[in-house]
Amino acid sequence: MELAKYIDHTALKPETTPADVEQLCKEALEYRFAAVCVNPVYVPLAARMLKESGVLTATVVGFPLGASASEIKAHEAAYAIEQGAGEIDMVMAIGLFKGGDRAAVGRDIAAVVKAAGNHPVKVIIETCFLGRDEIVEVCRIAANNGAAFVKTSTGFGPRGASVEDVIAMKEAVGGRCHIKASGGIRTREQALAMIAAGATRIGTSAGVSIVKGA
């Protein structure tokens, strides 16, 4: 299996520097990862380094809390695309979902999908805060509102992805969108387990060691 094509090579920590992003992009070009995923301030740098390489520039919206107004998320997505982003990883309105306002969650996702145009949107559902039935429900909301992917985690919650999360997500979307597993995936074995469960993309800062099998 060519693991590199599954990986979004990621650097989203607050202390990430331009030099870190440059190194991330060099590694992505060397190993032919699917994408790099960086904070919005670094989209122009990553897009410039990855131009015409086939490696996509992804960025995050409403990150990491999902608590921005929908209008702000939509504008953030549109601006990131203007700056060169090819994919958008948005955090859903977690608190609104937990509070029972499913319609608002759907509108929030739909606003970002509309702003992104033909650029894929990955909806981060932050599975650490959800029970299995909630995971299934929110994945269906995301799929119904145009998400290209549902994604497990920001990496900032109390836990990251699990195989059980991915299985539940796959059941929920029924092939209508892809699944990205992220958060705490550090080894080749973990990545392969997520893919076997149904993930078609892996978000990790350990992409190099994963593909090298270290």
89 annotated active-site: yes
Q: In terms of pTM, does the model score above 0.85?
A: yes
Helix axes 18-31, 43-50, angle to 10 degrees: 30
- Distance from C-alpha of 11 to C-alpha of 18, rounded to nearest angstrom: 11
- Single out the catalytic residue among 108, 151, 165, 170: 151
Q: Are strands 35-38 and 56-61 parallel, antiparallel or unpaired?
A: parallel
Maximum Cα–Cα distance across the chain? 45
Q: Which residues have a Cβ under 8 Å from the Cβ of 196 and sit 6 or more positions away?
A: none
- Single out the catalytic residue among 73, 122, 170, 180: 180
Three-state SS for 143?
A: helix
User: How high is the pLDDT of residue 213?
Assistant: 85
133 annotated active-site: no
Per residue in 114-150, pLDDT (tens digit) is 999 999 999 999 999 999 999 999 999 999 999 999 9
Question: What single DSSP character describes residue 42?
Answer: G
Question: What single DSSP character describes residue 129?
Answer: G
Per residue in 84-103, pLDDT (tens digit) is 999 999 999 999 999 999 99
Strand partners, 57: 36
151 annotated active-site: yes
User: Is the pLDDT assigned to residue 20 strictly greater than 80?
Assistant: yes
Residue boundaries of the structural domains of the chain:
3-212
User: How high is the pLDDT of residue 62?
Assistant: 98
User: Is the pLDDT assigned to residue 214 strictly greater than 70?
Assistant: no
Question: What single DSSP character describes residue 148?
Answer: S
Give start and end residues of each alpha helix (H) in 61-101: 70-83, 94-98
Q: List the one residue out of 26, 93, 27, 87 whose CA is nearest residue 60.
A: 87
- The third-level CATH classification (topology) of the domain covering 3-212 is TIM Barrel (3.20.20)
Q: Which two tokens mark 59?
A: 């960025």
Per residue in 185-199, pLDDT (tens digit) is 999 999 999 999 999
Output b/e per residue, 108-134; b: 16+ Cβ within 10 A.
bbbbbbebbeebbbbbbbbbbbbeeee
Per residue in 24-55, pLDDT (tens digit) is 999 999 999 999 999 999 999 999 999 999 99
- Single out the catalytic residue among 89, 108, 122, 170: 89
Length of the chain: 214
Question: What average pLDDT does the segment 167-194 reach?
Answer: 97
Three-state SS for 21?
A: helix
Output b/e per residue, 165-183; b: 16+ Cβ within 10 A.
bbbbbbebbeeebbbbbbb
Which pLDDT band holds residue 181 (cuts at 50, 70, 90)? very high
User: Is the pLDDT assigned to residue 1 strictly greater than 90?
Assistant: no
